[in-house]
Structure 1
Amino acid sequence: MKFGIHAGLWMKKWADDPAPIFAKVAELGFDGVELSLLGVGRDRAEAIGRQAADLGLEMTCSTGLGPEADPTSADASVRANGLAVLTEAIEVTQMLGARGLAGVVAAPWGVFDPANKGARAERAAQTLGQLDAVLEACDVTLGIEALNRFESDLTSTAAETCAIARATGSQRIGVLLDSFHMNIEEKRPDAAIRAAGETLVHYHVSDNDRGVPGSGRYDFPADAQALREIGYDGWVVAEMFVMAGNPASADLNIWRDIEPDPTQAARETLTYLKEVFGNAG
């Protein structure tokens, strides 16, 4: 089991220089850091990867798609653009020295079309399945994130997201489950983890208010037990958004400071993760 934290905890903008954040993460004792590719392209990737490696940090990546790159679109040209955008993201992930890419990759964030959900899910699976060769060549695993109902209608539950991942036919594509989203959508998040089984390739944590795990009402020990039962030994990454008015997370509606200090929140989080998940792998 490896413990990481998303650089977005501190970032004001996705294109911010991550080097000072890497230094904080290493000092705090995390195994690695997760970096959004929304502000990282080919021109910066290798240098950023070296910055993390020089501090002994492993890296994992996340990204999201806009409507112009929708894998579910009925327009073949839009699907092709989605394929191109994700291909570049996979290649940038490799350039960073990371082996995992996850996030909003099956459908754009905030796009809803429930009347055509079945057809969209099929197109998403077909489009993502075409990434298998580049995933294999880059030695990268792709995780489709299950999002709550206010952010997606296509992958709102673990079951829906796993179905798309499995339908791709790629052994390199799985799911990302996130405690914040599961808290809204799953009657039993631990049961959702068990049902995901080997399809689970990435796991995010924050408490029910997107703050420090263990500070709210989410049952993390139950998730830890489920991870133990399915033999999950990958990343446990804290993805917290705690600063009000932060441009990088403006669309997440953080209207108040969830935690008084991001760095202290990270420190408390690592202590909790080691306590609860330390023997889960």
Structure 2
Amino acid sequence: MKFGIHAGLWMDRWTQDPAPLFDRAAALGFDAVELSLLGIGPEQAARLRQAAADAGVALSCSTGLGPEADPASADPEVRHHARETLARAIETVAALGSSRLAGVVAAPWGQFDPAHKADRAKRSGETLGQMQAHLAQHGVTLGIEALNRFESDLTSTAAEACAIARAAGAANVGVLLDSFHMNIEEKDPPAALRAAGDTLVHYHVSDNDRGVPGSGRYDFAADARALKDIGYQGWIVAEMFVCAGRPTSADLNIWRDIEPDADQAAAQALAHMKEVFANVG
């Protein structure tokens, strides 16, 4: 079991160089750092891969697709662009020495079209399924993130994300479930995890306010029991956004400081993760 931290905790902009954060994460005791590909291209991969190796941390990656690369689009050209965009992302992940890519990949963030939801979900599953050969070639697993209703109408629940992953019919396509989103959408988050079963390939934690896990009202111990029940072998990554006044925070509607200090938040998160998830995996 690897415990990771999303670099976005410390980043002002997605284009900021994350390399200096690797030593910071390692010093706090994390095994892994998750990088957003929104500011990273293949030309940076070799340098970042070496920096991570020097710091002694593994890398995972997240990304998001824009409207011009919507896998669920009715326009074949847009779906083609989605496949091209995902192919480049997969290649970048492999060049970083990582095998994990997850995020907003079923449909663009903040785009809503509920009247055509069933058709969009079908097309999204087909498009992502067509990435299987490229994923397998590069040894990368793709996780479809379930987002809350304010960020997506297509994958608002674990069941919706899992349905698209299963419809893809691809061994290297699964789901990413996140406690922050499940806290909003799931009546019973542990039941959602159990229903996801081996479709679950990545798991994010933050508390109900997107701050330190264990500082709010989310029941992480119940999630830990569910993860153990399904034999989850993936990573547990703290994805916290706690500081206002940054472009990255504005993207995620963080309008006040959730925690007073990012380093302290990371240390507290890791302590809670190790305590609660010690027997998972």
User: What is the TM-score of this pair, normalised by structure 1?
Assistant: 0.99
Instruction: Write the mapping of 1:253-264 to structure 2, written as runs, cut at 5 A.
Output: 253-264=253-264
Question: Match for residue 144 of structure 1?
Answer: 144
Question: Match for residue 15 of structure 1?
Answer: 15
Contact 2:176 2:200 in 1 (8 A): yes
Question: Match for residue 63 of structure 1?
Answer: 63
Q: 1:249 Cα deviation (Å)?
A: 2.8
Question: Match for residue 156 of structure 1?
Answer: 156
AA aligned to 1:205 is V
* 1:237 alignment partner, SS class: strand
Question: Match for residue 99 of structure 1?
Answer: 99
Contact 1:224 1:277 in 2 (8 A): yes
Percentage identity across aligned positions? Answer: 69
* 2:241 alignment partner, SS class: coil
Q: 1:28 Cα deviation (Å)?
A: 0.6
Q: 1:190 Cα deviation (Å)?
A: 0.2
State how far apart, in whole Å, the 2-side matches of 1:243 and 1:231 are: 34
Instruction: Write the mapping of 1:102-121 to structure 2, written as runs, cut at 5 A.
Output: 102-121=102-121
Contact 2:4 2:31 in 1 (8 A): yes
Instruction: Write the mapping of 1:27-66 to structure 2, written as runs, cut at 5 A.
Output: 27-66=27-66
Q: 1:82 Cα deviation (Å)?
A: 0.6
Instruction: After superposition, give the CA deviation of every residue in 1:131-159 in whole Å (9 maximum; x if it has no partner).
Output: 00000000000000000000000000000
Segments of structure 1 that go 5 or more residues without pairing to the other structure are none
Q: 1:89 Cα deviation (Å)?
A: 0.3
Question: Match for residue 134 of structure 2?
Answer: 134
Contact 1:70 1:78 in 2 (8 A): yes
* 2:202 alignment partner, SS class: strand
Instruction: Write the mapping of 1:182-193 to structure 2, written as runs, cut at 5 A.
Output: 182-193=182-193
Q: 1:46 Cα deviation (Å)?
A: 1.2
State how far apart, in whole Å, the 2-side matches of 1:256 and 1:208 are: 15
Structure 1 consecutive aligned stretches of length 4 or more whose deviation exceeds 6 Å: none
* 2:236 alignment partner, SS class: strand
State how far apart, in whole Å, the 1-side matches of 2:200 and 2:85 are: 23
State how far apart, in whole Å, the 1-side matches of 2:109 and 2:9 are: 20
Contact 1:209 1:258 in 2 (8 A): yes
* 1:52 alignment partner, SS class: helix
* 2:74 alignment partner, SS class: coil
State how far apart, in whole Å, the 2-side matches of 1:150 and 1:251 are: 13
State how far apart, in whole Å, the 1-side matches of 2:270 and 2:219 are: 17
Q: What is the number of equivalent residue pairs in this alignment? A: 281
Question: Match for residue 273 of structure 1?
Answer: 273
Q: 1:278 Cα deviation (Å)?
A: 1.0
Instruction: After superposition, give the CA deviation of every residue in 1:98-127 in whole Å (9 maximum; x if it has no partner).
Output: 000000000000000000000000000110
Question: Match for residue 174 of structure 2?
Answer: 174
Question: Match for residue 217 of structure 1?
Answer: 217
Residue 196 (1) aligns with residue 196 (2) = yes
Q: 1:17 Cα deviation (Å)?
A: 1.3
Instruction: After superposition, give the CA deviation of every residue in 1:203-229 in whole Å (9 maximum; x if it has no partner).
Output: 000000000000000000000000000
Contact 2:249 2:255 in 1 (8 A): no
| 132-141 vs 244-253, which moves further | 244-253
Q: 1:251 Cα deviation (Å)?
A: 2.1
Contact 2:66 2:109 in 1 (8 A): yes
Q: 1:246 Cα deviation (Å)?
A: 1.3
State the superposition RMSD in angstroms.
Answer: 0.6
Instruction: After superposition, give the CA deviation of every residue in 1:18-56 in whole Å (9 maximum; x if it has no partner).
Output: 122111001011110000000000110111111001111
State how far apart, in whole Å, the 1-side matches of 2:193 and 2:246 are: 31
